[in-house]
Amino acid sequence: MVILTLNCGSSSVKYQVYDWSNKKVMARGIAERVGTQEAVLEHNAAGKEPYRLAKPMPNHQTAIETLLDVIVDPWQGVISNIQEVKAVGHRVLHGGQRFGTSVLINPQVLQTFRELQDLGPLHLPPNIMGIEAAQKVLPNVPHAAILDTAWHQTMPPTSYIYAVPYQWYTEYGVRRYGFHGTSFLYTAKRAAALLHKKPRETNLIICHIGNGASMCAVRDGCSLDTSMGLTPLEGLVMGTRSGDIDPAIINFVCRKAGLSSQEVENALNKKSGVLGITTKYIDRRDVVQAAEQGDTLSQLALEIEAYRIKKYIGAYTAALGRVDAVVFTAGVGEMGPQIRERALSGLNNIGIVLDHRRNEISRTRNAETRISADHSPTPVFVIPTDEELVMTEDTYALMQGTYKVHTEFTYSFEDCNYVNKEREEALKKELTKRPELSEVIISSCEG
């Protein structure tokens, strides 16, 4: 059985083709610059050379049709017939308060997403376009929505209610929703396996640090609090998003610069964060390189980003009381030792002691590592996330009628013997080039 997962952005479509019977990724890729004549599809199939196709993709339906053509292509493909795809899982940004779990998509569910577009104006429209496009191309298979916000529906009112007029919540749904839910779910379950605990026995602080970034306080295996809010703008310093600011800044800049509130909001989403501080960089690798070469604004951006992470770690430590582990994940969290170092320095007094060599060595997406010192009361793990696997397992369970809320559902990756075959093969090659990586790898069965 083959399950396809899709993650549709405003101008991109990420995809994965998964062989459920053999529990193996067959192919993954991304179509970028969708909506233009310069669109490009990059396709990576297991055991084959990477493939790149440049062709106009005027809309998401064309992009999905293109990727489907590639996965059945005699030379580049991984299946012989599109009928082998038995289900499609869609990443959807926002489920509001309507959905606390993943859900099969029917006309009523799709209409609910349309009604919620004001809560996710940058992400929900392309999510919806992707669903509609995929349903046209694959009309006879079940389609499932895996919602970024669902994981956080366990938060108590003290975490999600803002101190604003209460009718804003009751009438307009103004509250903290949180995002990156599939990533938090995966890393929370994996952290429990590394700790040799059941998920419901664990208290965690998870740092999902990428271009978009957020943190989650996990109590008894469930989301207690998170840094993103009504939208993905609140919280940490991100690639182009400001994170936490004084709300009065918006009207202040409107008056001073003669901008509309929408223009200021766009600037906070697309021209702020690391880009706003450095004035030219988004990719943290560029920021780190520039900082090492003496660029003062890049140095400042790294310090501000790390300081914000450190403040949230402190706040969530206070909220949780007992912290079983701190986890870093996502692109920067997995590959950015410089930011991890800054964020964790000086936290010995709350039981977090970094091992500097382990932290420097830990730069991989193919293994789970420990970067804290042996004597650190609180371990610090780096766990490469796998949102696509969560999407795939949810989709399969939904189509089989066995799916339940995550507290009553067992994922394959909760088992200490779980192995990601794709990453296992990649790790073997990586170790031949970086044998020191073996020093920091931690096995969930061995501890």
Instruction: Say which residue the tokens 């780096």 belong to.
Output: 382
Give the H/E segment covering residue 433. Answer: helix 421-433
d(Cα 70, Cα 374) in Å, to the nearest integer? 48
Nearest to 328 by CA among 238, 423, 208: 208
Facing residues of 213 across strands? 209
| Cβ 190 vs Cβ 416: under 8 Å | no
Coil, strand or helix: which one is 94? coil
Question: At 286, phi and psi to the nearest 5?
Answer: -65, -40
| Cβ 18 vs Cβ 392: under 8 Å | yes
d(Cα 166, Cα 175) in Å, to the nearest integer? 10
Tokens of 418: 């779980």
Percent helix / strand / coil, the chain, rounded to 5: 45, 20, 40
Counting beta carbons within 10 angstroms of the beta carbon of residue 78, is it exposed (0 to 12), middle (13 to 18) or buried (19 or more)? buried
DSSP, res 226: E
Give the orientation angle of helix 387-400 with respect to helix 181-195, to 10 degrees: 100
How many residues can be counted in the chain?
447
Cα distances from 40 to residues 55, 125, 245, in angstroms, run 6, 21, 37
d(Cα 305, Cα 310) in Å, to the nearest integer? 9
Facing residues of 51 across strands? 43
| Cβ 105 vs Cβ 145: under 8 Å | yes
| Cβ 278 vs Cβ 302: under 8 Å | no
d(Cα 113, Cα 377) in Å, to the nearest integer? 44
Count CB-CB contacts under 10 A for residue 218. 30
Active-site annotation holder among 19, 148, 355, 394: 148
Is-catalytic flag, 394?
A: no
Q: Which residues are catalytic?
A: 148
